[in-house]
Amino acid sequence: MKKLFIMAALFAATNGYSQTHTDSTLNAMTKMQLTNVYLDQVTTLAFSTPYTPFTIGVTDSVNGDLDIPVSKYIKRKREEVLDMSTKYGETMKEQLYEIVPYSDKKDMIRAILFLQDVNTNVKKNVSK
User: Is residue 14 a part of any domain in this protein?
Assistant: no
Domain that holds residue 73: 2-9+22-127
Rounded to an integer, what is the distance from CA 51 to the centroid of its chain?
12
Total domains present in the chain: 1
User: Is residue 77 a part of any domain in this protein?
Assistant: yes
* 66/84: higher pLDDT: 84
Say if residues 12 and 42 touch (Cβ distance below 8 Å). Answer: no
| Statement: residue 45 has pLDDT above 90 | no
* 126/34: higher pLDDT: 34
**Sign of the four-CA dihedral 89, 90, 95, 96:** positive
Q: What is the pTM of this model?
A: 0.70
User: Is residue 15 a part of any domain in this protein?
Assistant: no
pLDDT value at residue 102: 94
* 74/5: higher pLDDT: 74
